[in-house]
Amino acid sequence: MSLPLEGRSAIVTGAGRGLGRAEALELARLGAAVVVNDYGQSAGWGSPLPERSRGLGGGSGAGSAAPAEQVAAEIRAAGGRAVAHTGDVADFARARELVALAVDAFGSLDILVNNAGILRDRMVFSMSEDEWDSVIRVHLKGHFNTIRFAAAHWRERSKASAGPVYGRIVNTSSEAFLAGSAGQPNYAAAKGGIVGLTTSTALALAKYGVTANVICPRARTRMTEDVFAGIAVPDEGLDPLAPEHVAPLVGYLAAPAAARVNGQLFVVHGGMVAIVERPRVQAKFDSKQDAFSYAELDAILTPHYASRPPGETFAATEVLTLKHD
């Protein structure tokens, strides 16, 4: 019996440790050849970072390219195929190089999993320009860069074959975007941007046979060690916050079985997968004149919001209560 990803090739960014590592190992277990990407210098992604600003998949290596190569070696030791790449995906040229490596090493690229990221948490009134720019650069630009070159590869293959090709993109957003994390305006903005990038990409590439989906994982990694510090690791059984809860969904979305899954957003953690509905129009008001006036809006909107629950916003804070039953 063949494996679902046998003969396919994949890129996983930020895959030196944590979530990215688990995803790379899962894709390899399902039969894919994997390019394991992780920034391999002690400075971390981009410019020098504070202690908590590490890659989502474990961040930088301790002064070497070891994390990415160690995961690649782990895959090869288990009988799979893998190569390491240590470039910064937020660098346009290095992202081009990453996609080219997958094509050169394995003949083509079929799957792209974007996972690399950093944290620079601060309240919006205290955030520096660098703290904003660095997070947007690594998360949002990093996602765009790899998608840009993978999409061009698939478009050229589709044109050459005069038909659809096999392409899968799995991007990484966060519940911080859905719920509105007060101390993470840069991170929430970047993760919200990734959702918009994903839905745009899903529509743009569907005709070429490519799907693009986005996950909001909850996992205990080096980047989130402070976030989940108060949640103890159980003495027995798999940690509900283990990255291994997330990796199977990534494997599924990368597989042929998910051909009809496109432009979707999933929350995943602790043995649970939730599909998030797209935004719905909650209310609609029409002016009785050619255009609204202040007075008319006041007469309509003020009583409307007076009847709404206090503190309710567009943020979907209920996602934070989701758990495995």
Residues with catalytic annotation?
A: 174, 187, 191
The torsion angles phi and psi of 144, rounded to 5 degrees, stand at: -60, -45
Biggest distance spanned by C-alpha atoms of the chain: 72
Terminus-to-terminus CA distance in the chain, angstroms? 33
> Long-range contact list for 151-156, CB < 8 A, 24+ apart?
151/201, 151/204, 151/205, 151/210, 153/99, 153/103, 153/108, 153/109, 154/109, 154/205, 154/208, 154/209, 154/210, 155/205, 155/208
Q: What's the CA gap between 296 and 289, in Å, rounded?
A: 9
Sequence-distant (≥ 6) Cβ neighbours of residue 161 within 8 angstroms: none
What count of other Cβ atoms lies within 10 Å of the Cβ of residue 99? Answer: 23
Query: How far from 147 is each of 11, 109, 247, 318, CA to CA, in Å?
Result: 11, 12, 20, 31
Query: How far from 87 is each of 50, 158, 190, 226, 288, CA to CA, in Å?
Result: 20, 28, 20, 27, 58
Closest to 205 in 3D by CA, of 150, 255, 244: 150
